[in-house]
Amino acid sequence: MTKVFHYPWRAAVKPAHWRLPSPSGDVVSPEVGAFVDHGNGNFEEIPGPTIREGTGQNRVLTKDSDQFFYSSEYSHQFQKETTDSFVRRCHFALTDAFIWLSGYLYRYREDSGSPLAERKLSDACAAFRGYLGSQKDFAPESLIVEIARNAPGAVASIVAGPRMVLTREHTEVPLDKIQEMDVSSLVDLARRPGRTVAMKAGPKQRLTALTRRETADTIENRVVLDFIFRSARSARQYVDEMCARCPRREACLLHDPVVEKDCPSERVKLVAGYSRHCAAWIRSGAFAEVTRLKEPRTRPNYVLQQNIRYVKVWKYYLKLLRLEDVEEDVWRWRRAAWSDMAKMLFMMVWEERLKPHAKLQTSRRPFMIRSANRNGRWFVPTPFEDSLVFDERGRYKTLYILSADDAAGLTGKKDLLAKNADFFIVVAADGEFTIRPVWAFCEDAKTQSDLDANSLAREASAEINAAGMRGLALFPSDEKEPIVKWTGEACVEGLNLFSADTNSVFDQLENYLKGVLS
Amino acid sequence: MSTYIGLDMAPSAMRWIVRDGAGGGGEAGGPIYGIRGCPKHPDYDSAVSWSDAMAFRQGEFEAKFGSGIEKTVRYELPEGHAAEWLRSFFQSAEGHPAVDVNGTIAVAVPDHASPEDRDDVLAGLSATKYANVSLIWRPVAALLGWMDYQKNKQGVDLSILLNRRIFVLDLDAGRPELTELACVRHRKNRDWIVPSRRRPSSDTLSTDGTFARECYQAMLADVPEWEQLVGGQFYADLQHAIEAGDNGFEAWVRRRGAWQPKRVKFSHALPNDILDTIKPILARMREDLNNADILLINGWVVRRYGEQILAQFKTKCGNVASISADSVARGAALFAERLAKGLPTYYDRLPEYSFWDGFKSDWVLMFNGEQEVEPGREYRYPEAGSRPCKLKIEKYADNVSFYVREPTSKEYARRIKTVFAEFLRSDLELSLSAVVVPEKGSARFVLAMCDDKAPAIFVSGTATVREIVLRWRSDDNKANKEVSVEYIEEHQGYVEPQPVLGRIYDSEDNLRMVEEYVKTPRGAAFYGLWAAYNARFHPDARNGIADRVGYRATPIEPTRGLFGTRYVFNVRVDKATRAFAEKCAKEMPYVTPSLFAGTGSLLKDGMLQQNYCHCGALEDYKNLIRARLTNGDEPQYNFSFYNAAGYVLGEDPKDVEILLNYICAKIHLQAERGKLWWSFFRMLCWHPECKLTSATKPLLEKALSILCSQDANKVVNGGRWTFNDIKYLLLAILYALRIRESGEDLSAPLKQHLIALLSTGLLSNVPFPQTMVPKVNPASRLPGDTLSKYVLRFVLRQDTLADRELGSAMGGV
């Protein structure tokens, strides 16, 4: 029987938590990621809503394995308004982080001139740690920061003197001012009553003639205007997010990074300043007669490709559009993106905290990430390295972090696949295996309004423990204090990636791994 | 100052020597133990390469833990990946020597390296900034290095090596190789003594890499997890300990997922198991060596156990020595330097490329493998001043292909084919030449038009050219989509289809005759019109169809062979053909009762006239035949109906099923059975799109069983209307083997039945049909060969290329 459930560990939990799909559709908030169990041991993750639509529907084809050749559609309904600002902030932060990470690898390849060039995991970890937050600037580098830094000059020069074209218009022109007529004007003249031109010109002595008028309503200017609007929106979002994270949030009086004296982030100031510029450009009237694009323009004209002022704007425009596409994509698969983030965090702990103390490292692996996400996933299926060996007073323990298939292969326990975990921590010693599944989940927006993070963690750990599972579940949190809740041997942790103390996240994970090892 | 690098890429270790040309011995690099192959990363769709054994590779877990047995996957340097590996090695920031970009690099390759392997190595380095790359055989490099050592370090006068056979046994080449060489005086610089490669290693010594594994297993007899050490993450430690002469080393092994340290010990005494491994090699070398010869052995096992192993070889040869680990690299570096400076290097044998001469039905050698040549220049076939090798392409051909082979290559032969810009309007002569450079990869072939006035026919990019270069490897021909390289097996087991062109293309008169007939009102005799053109339309072999028809057109059957089964998209011809078919359909009824083939007025047989239109027959006629076959109709005494499927059907893949169903259902028919089998054979012979697959196999086998059990008897003993059909049964069997194209084969019992029928049964001793005169040299056919024996060879998969060429010639009628 087809079942739908939220929270990945519920695949192995009592059926009480499962919900049967109703024929008319089910209202869910699958931005957290819901799963469909088709009854054959496969769990299919369902994507969430897009950010561009309002109320939307998502159809999933389900097959009822009890009945032969029967299939039904199961539809979700969801509403964008159910999400709150934290969820959106977290989502954009995740997207930004992975776009930056994949760009990091591919920039290296471009610079080295070799498609085979790879970065070491240690380099990637160090760079990502720098991205998450440094002493100097808590706000990370982002496309909008790059735009704010590089684009204003080009846009300003366009605003100061946009490219104008002469358009031909038919207007009523006084007789003594007529310079040019065309077929339409002559036809209009012929149709007018009267025998002579003067009679046809009427009391006002005007005839329809061709005039030329300068206008800025060209394709390239429409693109520039669209770029200004989009980048302004992106800049506002960035400033809002960063201000919410700002360590001086309570002390901030004006809540305006441009004028705030002690604003700790240069990047936020830069972007806020850019946002003001955008408003000024729109108010300036240079684009008053330029029509808005109804949909993004992806095909350039000659000017956008060749004109030195417009080329830069065009390149950033394309990047913005792509970013919006990626954001929309990742928004639908937020849980999957968070799962990748959990993997990245574990890889960083592995590289920076555990390896230096390991007796033996059995393999190395280059850092591999896709250039574009696939259903929210950026990493290749198993980005982890092989194993680390620790020596505890002559007793050797081997630590693995593995995908579900590899864990089942190593331990010989095929039932691990039924736990629907994102990955597994396995310790092998003295012929025995210690296995801990790790799930990544996001808070459901509805529950988030009912439960605070601590309560959520407590309830989730109780649920996992009640199912007889020992494992770790991770979710993104914006609490200042670390959230760690245990029920039996089940642990749920809320991770704040963008807190002032980034080390606290790694401390949490390292403590958990050491606990498993011991 | 320019640098010269010699690179020795043995599976156990990689070593290199950099010479600066100032006369020094060179700076040694490496060894890097345990060179790894370069498996493709599944998500990246590109080769990701590593230079050390510690690198984690995707899929390793599946290999290690599949089926619950813990093991380690050993990566040898596989062909195809050597290119990527070399590229990454030279581009990586660590591990590669500091060399001059314009310097010369020589890479040592094993004797058994095929042209593809050699091309691969060159391709890998061609993508780097190092442009001057050459190859040298490992045994030659080893001997060069050893000679240099003897001369410069030991002060030996190399002239003592003249007139002696020198054997190099290379145990580090991936598999043991024994190569016969000699030292000779250079022909031009008489004071130089250089190696000459006499007899490359054959596969009789060993065909795979088990020797090395057996040696490791013998050395690690006390370690149950020896497979983990050999080729695993810690292989480099193992190899280092072996080559350093250590007593053992600290290893890590894994049991049930948990790594544990383990002290691995080696004994200094030679393990008996290694002796057992060497004995087969010794036995195979028995005939080659004698006391006066010199045997040089390269391999880590020999360097480690020294005299204990050398003593085994001294029983066969008086002068046995082990060469140092860097000899191959040193020799390769020497070669690179001498090649760059134009100094004497060594003498080699040219690769024995040969191409297939269709008329002689034999392979023609392009390069003489006995001739000693020196690397550094191109060798051409045919040589300058000799007669060019010409291929005659008959008119209407739209492609040319030739077979070429090289003995060390893994497959029997290759067919290199290129398509013309359009089909030929007249016969054409092409010249075929080949160029090979001994120290480089495979040969390249050049086809050129002999007639300067004829328009260019080859396609290169968007232009047509008069000359085209074709490469041995299909990857190297990728720039030109019109060129394809296909691997050919020696025994293919089936004949390829051969569509035919109609005689309407032979001359303008033929086309006009058809057009005139179409214009003539009803009642005007086709016979009369044909007679009017008869003077020019002379139906003998000279004006025959391009597909070499052997029969003559007659007044009774003037349109036989006029139209063909192959489309060339000539608008005027297509229009005339269609109009002809429509006029015939209008004026002559399809079904003519009581009409015997060969009697009566064939000119009034509407079915026959449509049949002779072949692929130009009207669609409704084709559909009529399909419908009647499907419904199981049996028009009495109308052989045209039973032959119709062979003439007009075959373009639709389902046609062969319809016909086979009919054949299986109408067992009671008598003389008609021969015609049905003719249709079956022709359908498969004339239509490449008509295929036999696994889906049709049961039906096919049922039909062939009926052929064996009943139809053969009916045809052979059937009297007047069947005696000519015997050959069609054989050809039906022959073309039924086209099922092998799809990877299937006939079942064993059926094959046995066919073998019995062809060898001793009713269809044995059937001679070749006189009308199907192939354009091959009769002297090339086996004496006493018959059609039955010929088909039997195909059934048994003992056919040769000559047989297949003959079949194409026969079937194209």
Distance of alpha carbon B321 from alpha carbon B150, whole angstroms: 12
Give the separation between CA A373 and CA A382, rounded to whole angstroms: 15
The string of pLDDT tens digits covering residues A152-175 is 999 999 999 999 898 888 999 999
From the list B617, B647, B642, the residue with the least C-alpha distance to B628 is B642
pLDDT tens digits, one per residue of A490-517: 899 888 877 667 788 888 899 999 999 8
Residues of B in contact with A114 (CB under 8 A): 88, 91
CA–CA gap between residue A383 and residue A101 (Å, rounded)? 14
A371 in contact with chain B, both atoms CB, cutoff 8 A: no
| pLDDT above 70: residue A226 | yes
Angle separating helix axes B787-795 and B801-811, nearest 10 degrees: 120
B425: closest CA of chain A, how far (Å): 47
Task: Give the pLDDT confidence score for residue A65 in this predicted structure.
Answer: 43
At B783 the three-state DSSP class reads coil
Checking phi first, is residue B331 left (phi over 0); if not, alpha (psi -120 to 50) or beta? alpha
- Return the top range by mean pLDDT from A267-271, B535-539, B607-611: A267-271
What is the pLDDT, as a whole number, of residue B546? Answer: 33
Mean pLDDT of chain A: 79
Q: Supply the pLDDT for residue B551.
A: 47
Q: Using one digit for the tens of pLDDT, what is the confidence trace for A331-379?
A: 778 788 888 888 988 988 998 899 899 988 877 676 777 777 777 788 8
3-class DSSP state for residue B192?
A: coil
The yes-or-no verdict on residue A479 having pLDDT over 50 is yes
What is the distance in angstroms between the CA of the first residue and the CA of the last residue of chain A? 41
Rounded mean pLDDT, A411-435: 89
Of the listed ranges A33-47, B204-218, B454-468, B794-808, the least confidently predicted one is A33-47
**Can you give the pLDDT at residue B702?**
94
Burial A130-157 (b: 16+ CB within 10 A, else e): ebbbeeeebbbebbbbebbeebbebbee
Contacting A residues, span 432-461, partner chain B, CB-CB under 8 Å? 433
User: What pLDDT does A446 receive?
Assistant: 47
Q: Where are the domains of chain A?
A: 3-82, 143-161+218-332, 165-215, 334-517
Greater model confidence, B367 or A45:
B367
pLDDT, tens digit, 9 for 90 and up, residues B158-212: 888 888 889 998 888 877 888 889 999 998 888 999 999 887 766 556 666 677 7
d(CA B280, CA B265): 27
HSE, side-chain direction, 13 A CA sphere, residue B316: 19
Percent of chain B having pLDDT more than 70?
Answer: 78
Q: If you measure CA to CA, which chain B residue comes closest to A402?
A: B61
Chain A contacts of B61, Cβ < 8 Å? 402, 405-406, 409-410
Q: Do A118 and B43 touch (CB under 8 A)?
A: no
Distance CA B120, CA B114 (A): 10
**Average of per-residue pLDDT values in chain B:** 78
Interatomic CA distance for residues A139 and A131, integer angstroms: 9
In this prediction, residue B80 has a pLDDT band, given cuts at 50, 70 and 90, of very low
Distance (Å, rounded) from C-alpha A219 to C-alpha A162?
Answer: 12
Residue A483 has a pLDDT of 86
Nearest to B260 among A116, A396, A411 (CB): A396
Residue A367's φ and ψ, nearest 5 degrees, are -80, 120
CA distance A323 to A91: 13
Six-digit token string for B712:
């053969």
- Considering only residues B50 and B229, tell me which one the structure prediction assigns the higher pLDDT: B229
What interface predicted TM-score (ipTM) does this complex get?
A: 0.74
* pTM exceeds 0.80 for this model: no
**Nearest residue to B417 via CA among B427, B434, B429, B404:** B404
Query: Which residue of chain A has the CA closest to B51?
Result: A364
- C-alpha distance from A393 to closest chain B C-alpha (Å): 13
pLDDT surpassing 50 at residue B498: yes
Question: Contact B97/B29 with Cβ under 8 angstroms?
Answer: yes
Write the single-letter amino acid at A507: D
Query: Distance from A389 to chain B by nearest Cα, in Å?
Result: 7
Task: Show which of residues 402-421 on chain A sit within 8 Å of chain B, judged by CB atoms.
Answer: 402, 405-406, 409-412
Predicted confidence at residue B272, as pLDDT, reads 76
Residue in B44, B49, B259 closest to A360 by CB = B259
More confident residue, B223 or A107: B223
Mean pLDDT, to the nearest integer, of B583-604?
A: 62
Q: Which of A362, A399, A434 to probe the B interface (max B CBs under 10 A)?
A: A362
pLDDT band at residue B47, thresholds of 50, 70 and 90? very low
Distance in angstroms (rounded) separating the CA atoms of residues A359 and A396? 9
Mutate to test the interface with A, among B49, B57, B61 (most CBs of A within 10 A): B61
B322 CA: distance to closest CA in chain A (Å): 35
At residue B128, the pLDDT reads 67
Reply yes or no on whether the pLDDT at B298 is more than 70. Answer: yes
Cα separation, A167 vs B257, in Å, equals 77
pLDDT of residue B706: 93
Q: Do A409 and B62 count as a contact with CB atoms less than 8 A apart? A: yes
Token readout for B450 is: 């002999």
> A114: nearest CA in chain B?
B91
CATH topology of domain B350-488: Substrate Binding Domain Of DNAk; Chain A, domain 1 (2.60.34)
The whole-number pLDDT of residue B1 equals 60
**8-state DSSP, B768:** P
Compute the average pLDDT of residues B463-491. Answer: 80
**Poorest-pLDDT segment among A14-23, B301-310, B506-515:** A14-23
Residues of B in contact with A385 (CB under 8 A): 56
What are A390's strand-pairing partners? A397
Give B473 to chain A, closest Cα distance, Å: 24
Amino acid identity for residue A263 in this structure: C
Nearest to B373 by CA among B223, B521, B186, B568: B186
- Determine the distance in angstroms separating the CA of A139 from the nearest CA of chain B, rounded to an integer: 32
Residue A24 has pLDDT above 50, yes or no: no
Query: Does any CB of chain B come closer than 8 Å to the CB of residue A267?
Result: no
Q: What are phi and psi of B739, to 5 degrees?
A: -60, -20
CB contact under 8 A, B256 and A366: no
Check if the beta carbon of residue B54 is closer than 8 Å to that of residue B233.
yes
By CA distance, what is A118's nearest residue in B?
B48
Q: Out of B61, B68, B259, whose CB is closest to A406?
A: B61
Task: Collect all residues with Cβ–Cβ distance below 8 Å to B540 and sequence separation of at least 6.
Answer: B552
Identify the closest residue of chain A to B70 by CA–CA distance.
Answer: A410
Is A123 touching B (CB cutoff 8 A)? no
With an 8 Å Cβ cutoff, are A366 and B60 in contact? no
Asked if A23 reaches chain B (Cβ–Cβ under 8 Å), the answer is: no
Predicted confidence (pLDDT) at residue A61 exceeds the cutoff of 60: no
Question: How many cross-chain Cβ pairs, A to B, lie less than 8 Å apart?
Answer: 82
A205: left (phi over 0), alpha (psi -120 to 50) or beta: left
Q: What are phi and psi of B172, to 5 degrees?
A: -110, 20
| Residue recorded with tokens 């050893």 | B146
Distance, in angstroms, between A501 CA and closest chain B CA?
33
The b/e string for B477-491 (b: 16+ C-beta within 10 A; e otherwise) is beebebbbbeebeee
Q: Residue type for A290, please? A: V
As a whole number, mean pLDDT of residues B693-707 equals 92
Q: Would you state the structure tokens that stand for residue B754, as one six-digit string?
A: 């066919």
Tell whether A365 lies on the interface with B, counting CB pairs under 8 A.
yes
* Residue B781 CB neighbours (<10 A): 16
Average pLDDT over residues B546-569: 62
Which residues does chain B have within 8 Å of residue A362's beta carbon, measured at their own beta carbons? 54, 233, 252, 259
- CB neighbour list of residue B153: distance below 8 Å, 6 or more residues apart: none
Closest Cα in chain B, distance from residue A410 (Å): 6
pLDDT for A110 beyond 90: no
Is the pLDDT score of B90 beyond 70? Answer: no
Of the two residues B98 and B50, the one the predictor is more confident about is: B98
- Does residue B48 carry a pLDDT above 70? no
Has residue A28 got a pLDDT over 50? no
Q: In which band, very low, low, confident or very high, does the pLDDT at B75 lie, cut at 50, 70 and 90?
A: very low
Mean pLDDT of B644-652: 89
Is residue A394 less than 8 Å (CB to CB) from chain B? no
Cβ proximity of A378 and A370 under 8 Å: yes
Contact A368 B49 (CB under 8 A): no
